[in-house]
Amino acid sequence: MLKIENLHARIAGTEILKGLSLEVNAGEVHALMGPNGAGKSTLGNVLSGRPGYEVTEGTVTFDGANLLGMEPEERAAAGMFLAFQYPVEIPGVNNTYFLRAALNAQRKARGEDELDSMQFLKLVRGKVKEMGMPAELLNRAVNEGFSGGEKKRNEVFQMALLQPRLAILDETDSGLDIDALKQVADGVNALRSPERAFLVITHYQRLLDYIVPDFVHVLDGGRIVESGEARLALELEAHGYAWVRDRTPAGAGA
Amino acid sequence: MNTAAVVPFVESMRSAAAALRLPGSGLAWLDATRREAMQAFVAHGLPATRNELWKYTTVRGLAQRQYAPRDDKAANRPVDEALFPPEAMDGPRAVFVNGVFRSDLSRLDRLPDGVGLQSLSSALDAEPEPLRFLLGAPKDAGDDGFTLLNRALWADGVVLRVAAGVHVRGPLHVVHVGVAADAATAWHLRSLIELGDDARLAIVEHHVGEAAAGHLANLVCNIKLHEQAHLDWVGIQRAGADATLLRCTDIQLHDDATLDFHALELGGKLARHEIRVDLAGARSRFESRGAFVLHQRQHADTELLVTHRGRDTFSHASWRGVADDRARGVVHGRILVLPGADGADGGFYNKNLLLSPSAEIDTRPALEIYADEVRANHGATVGQLDENVLFYLRSRGIPLEMARRILVRAFCAVTLERIEPPSLREHCLALLVEQLREAST
């Protein structure tokens, strides 16, 4: 589904990703871990098309298409979703309006019929119930006045509504207490399916107790330096990132 | 005088004064007033940018133009129904087409008791003397070239009076329509709105027009609110794309009177509105909220001049502007607190968005305070759409242009959310969205 080869990217002249390669197939959950500054969030931003990042080398394909040539909205319509590390507040833009505009724009781009307001309300109310979100969410402005935890839950709620094929979770666990963490994980686990893949970016192993990945990768210095199964996360937790660095001297990355 | 003689605009106005038979002609005091005002205009000329109130609005281009003195067919011209938004005009209305009052399009037969609404020309025909205070002054310290011209050449207008104690339900509409004529025409209208003690009224002023009608409308309006009177005033400006619209509204509030003003500025090639508010009475209040959305080479200028004269007076202004392409917006908010206006509370807040590197917005808040125990605040910003928010919307699949429209609509909508009734508010929001759609095509 997603194939990243030898990706180099920089922002404001500083190279952050230095030859990253990764392949994610449908149905898989990949966790991407690493110390601060390793390039985790940069990868999420480059994949979703955030302006300001410059790819200097390498390729990324999504279902065989050149992802890097697509606008952010085209990537979304193709089935990519980024759960933001810092979801933005949008005063004056009502959640229901926003979600319908997003869903219909994606459907239109895919050549599907747009939902009228009745069809959409039925769908969105069902999702609110299913995800255990407060019903008044729909009448509020997007993320306005939300706590950190509420914003992160709202990201997962949007994901449930938009039904992406590849979801990238950028440190969705940061700043969450244990209850909010479980709610977020429940939401993600409910969406796991053979057609859908996840790339879970996290600094801590904690989230992976609840979202158990198929693969764990360690990112350091802009490259993946170690890959393994879910157990790798536990070893990292026990030994710290320095342990990986010791095992893989500079220049010997994956 | 000799220098003024070479300005084509001034010449066309002089010949208009000679050619037109204006209302009230033959009344000695009015003839004299018109004559003196015309002389003052010729001597004064068009406002120059060295005039602080015209600093960012140049009329150099206008000076080279000539306008027909009237549209002879205005009384019979058909008006496209599409220019009239019926959902926004439920209730009595006075309609002017190319500056001419149209009784056939107006609806004044079902006015509530205690409300008098007629054209200025018929009011003058019926009884000139009560209008002498309004029309008899040849000039005023606050005059500029256009208000002088208006004194000289006004051909009609609206006289609206509400008797003391009368609370009018539902808004009255005053509609100014510009349609294509044989030649670009200039018209000058003078209006008076007066609310008696404890009277209540809502007015919606509409400016609409065909894109190709490159007229000049020069409108002066005096509003007088007596003790405890309350006026809700909504101005929806979507004049034709080639139109020049110059408005000066002078408002005086007596003790405990309230004016609540909403403005939506969308149309015209050059639109300027000077709003002078005199909070003369104790505890009088003026609240204003407004938004402009401009594109292409539109120019809109709002000059908001608030004078706190009475004790414990209150003013609040919250305006937002958006300029795209090569458009230019100007917002000037001046709060003047005179000696003796103790306890005054004034605020002017203006936020603006530039959507293009060639667009420009000039915002100038100014406070002048000569009284004690005064609260006065102002804040003005000019910025751009937040890239992070735009990216958030796009990452959810919303195309860039649509994301921009969503954010601009939200930015402006806060200034319209108190408009009543809700149907009128919805109408304003719909116009805003329509304007944004045009802007992005």
Residue in this structure with the two tokens 């009228």, named with its chain if needed: A116
pLDDT above 60 for A197:
yes
The whole-angstrom distance between B258's CA and the closest CA on chain A is 28
A76–B396 CB contact, under 8 Å: yes
> Which pLDDT belongs to residue A253?
43
B34 in any annotated domain: yes
The whole-angstrom distance between A71's CA and the closest CA on chain B is 8
Alpha helices in chain A (DSSP H): 40-48, 72-78, 95-109, 117-131, 148-162, 178-191, 231-239, 241-247
Q: Residues of B with CB below 8 A from A72's CB?
A: 391, 394-395
Question: Average pLDDT of A162-176?
Answer: 93
- Please name the residues in contact with B329: beta carbons below 8 A apart, sequence gap of 6 or more: B292, B294, B299, B300, B301, B321, B322, B323, B352, B360, B361, B362
Q: Residues of A with CB below 8 A from B393's CB?
A: 90, 98, 102
Question: Average pLDDT of A34-45?
Answer: 91
The whole-angstrom distance between A227's CA and the closest CA on chain B is 28
A73–B397 CB contact, under 8 Å: yes
Domain count, chain B: 1
CA distance B31 to B135: 10
Question: Average pLDDT of A91-103?
Answer: 95
Closest residue in chain B to residue A109, using alpha carbons only: B397
B402–A101 CB contact, under 8 Å: yes
B86 in any annotated domain: yes
CA distance B370 to B308: 10
Which of B396, B400, B402, B412 has the highest number of chain A CBs within 10 A, making it the mutation to test binding with A? B396
- Please name the residues in contact with A151: beta carbons below 8 A apart, sequence gap of 6 or more: A87, A143
Number of residues assigned to chain B: 441
B292 in any annotated domain: no
Averaged pLDDT score across all residues of chain A = 92
Residue of A88, A93, A102 with shortest CB distance to B397: A102
Which range is least confidently modeled, A122-126, A131-135, A142-146?
Answer: A131-135
> Which pLDDT belongs to residue A248?
62
> Which pLDDT belongs to residue B303?
97
The whole-angstrom distance between B358's CA and the closest CA on chain A is 22
Residue of B393, B396, B410 with shortest CB distance to A162: B396
> Is it true that the peptide bond before B421 is cis, omega within 30 degrees of 0?
yes
B194 in any annotated domain: yes
B18 in any annotated domain: yes
> Which pLDDT belongs to residue A122?
96
B295 in any annotated domain: no
Is B400 in the A-facing interface, judged by CB distances under 8 Å?
A: yes
Q: Mean pLDDT of successive 10-residue segments in chain B (441 residues)?
A: 68 92 94 96 92 92 93 94 76 94 91 94 94 89 94 96 96 95 96 98 96 93 98 97 97 98 97 98 98 96 98 98 96 97 97 96 95 94 96 97 94 94 92 81 53
B66 in any annotated domain: yes
Per the structure, the complete domain to which residue B116 belongs is given by 3-281
> Which pLDDT belongs to residue A251?
46
**Cβ-contact B285, B310 below 8 angstroms:** no
**Amino acid of residue B7:** V
- Please name the residues in contact with A44: beta carbons below 8 A apart, sequence gap of 6 or more: A82, A85, A168, A170, A199, A201
Q: Residues of B with CB below 8 A from A93's CB?
A: 406-407, 410
What is the ipTM, given to two decimal places?
0.95
> Which pLDDT belongs to residue B1?
44
Question: Average pLDDT of A85-91?
Answer: 94
Number of residues assigned to chain A: 254
**Cβ-contact A76, A50 below 8 angstroms:** no
CA distance B105 to B96: 8
Structure-model confidence comparison of residues A232 and B182, the more confident one: B182
Q: How confident is the model at residue A252 (pLDDT cuts 50, 70, 90)?
A: very low
Alpha helices in B251-382 (DSSP H): none
> Which pLDDT belongs to residue B436?
84
Q: Which two tokens stand for residue B80?
A: 């496209």
B265 in any annotated domain: yes
B397–A90 CB contact, under 8 Å: no
A87–B394 CB contact, under 8 Å: no
Q: Residues of B with CB below 8 A from A98's CB?
A: 393, 396, 406
